[in-house]
Amino acid sequence: MFAKPLCWGLAAFASLLLVLPAGSEPVFPVKWSQLPDMTEYGYDWSSETVVPSMTADDFLCDTPLAVIDVHWWGSYYDSGGLWPYKSSNDFDDPTLGSGNPPGIITGFNIEFYTNVPADELIPWSHPGDLLYEELIDMGLVNETYFGTITHVYGAQENVWQYNCVLPIPFEQDPLADPVDIDDDGTLDGTIYWIKIQAVHEDPETQWGWHEADTLWQDNGVQHWGPDPVPFWFLLENKDMAFELSVIPEPSLLLVAAVGLLALLRRRHR
């Protein structure tokens, strides 16, 4: 019943990408948003292949629309003789002098997981089964300066924003493992986890995923070391900064594509 609308929606989606001006990015509806903590208490948590380390955070899926676009925030830091260090703490930021990222990152691993609720063995929730993984080449990631933080003891760090469109959307299902978040007797959706990890091999400069200015459900988690079966340590009172955008309903995509094409035709007259 929905095969034709879906095909029309995908065609409209492709049309939108084709007619966008050079250098611009497609804009998709945001379904989840945790913005970065830009106060003196906003730090970054190591999530990088060189250590190796990885950091993850949870979110709620309450609609079946697929995730297509991911935004996140992070910073670089030099932990000196304490390398590798789990967070940016009050270390020096190597980008402060030049105002440019060091160019050490070659890509990002973006992964989605099921949720494992807290239990007696591990009293906090954490990622479970791997559902989706993509290595996003840095050429497909937009890295831009977002702002500078001055921490409590005077150390400064530049915060960078990262945007990318997933080459294959992450299909989510609010009914896969529905939970009652508010304990009001109503199922709210399914909890998933996202892991974002920088790919680089620089032995001096570290990269960390920036923490968010709000907390939702359980806190973020971090794994440290090469163990192939990660043990996720709780980042107490920390969530990570990221946004997830989704592919709109096919009918909305079609309307958007038609509107954009009409606007471009008018401009060319």
Single-letter code of the amino acid located at 50: V
For 36, 41, 100, 155, 252, the CA distances from 146, given in Å and listed in that order, are 10, 16, 12, 17, 31
The proportion of the chain whose per-residue pLDDT surpasses 90, expressed as a percent, equals: 74
Question: How far is Cα 58 from Cα 43, in angstroms, rounded to an integer?
Answer: 18
Band the pLDDT of 24: cuts 50, 70, 90: low
In a domain, 95, yes or no: yes
Mean local confidence (pLDDT), 22-41 = 85
In a domain, 17, yes or no: no
Question: Is-cis flag, bond preceding 52, omega within 30?
Answer: yes
In a domain, 225, yes or no: yes
Give me the number of domains the chain comprises: 1
Task: Say what the pLDDT of residue 268 is.
Answer: 52
In a domain, 9, yes or no: no
In a domain, 5, yes or no: no
In a domain, 3, yes or no: no
Task: Say what the pLDDT of residue 230 is.
Answer: 80
In a domain, 91, yes or no: yes
**Mean per-residue pLDDT over the chain, rounded:** 87
Is a pLDDT exceeding 70 seen at residue 264? no
195 class by beta-carbon count within 10 Å (0-12 exposed, 13-18 middle, 19+ buried): buried
Note the pLDDT tens digit of each residue in 178-212. 999 888 888 899 999 999 999 999 999 999 999 99
Band the pLDDT of 251: cuts 50, 70, 90: very low
Band the pLDDT of 262: cuts 50, 70, 90: very low
Give me the domain span that covers residue 117. 26-268
- Return the exposure string of 112-142: e unless at least 16 CB atoms fall within 10 Å of the residue's CB, then b: bbebbeeeeeeebbbbeeebbebebebeebe
CA 66 to mean position of chain CA atoms: 15
- The single-letter DSSP state of residue 219 is P
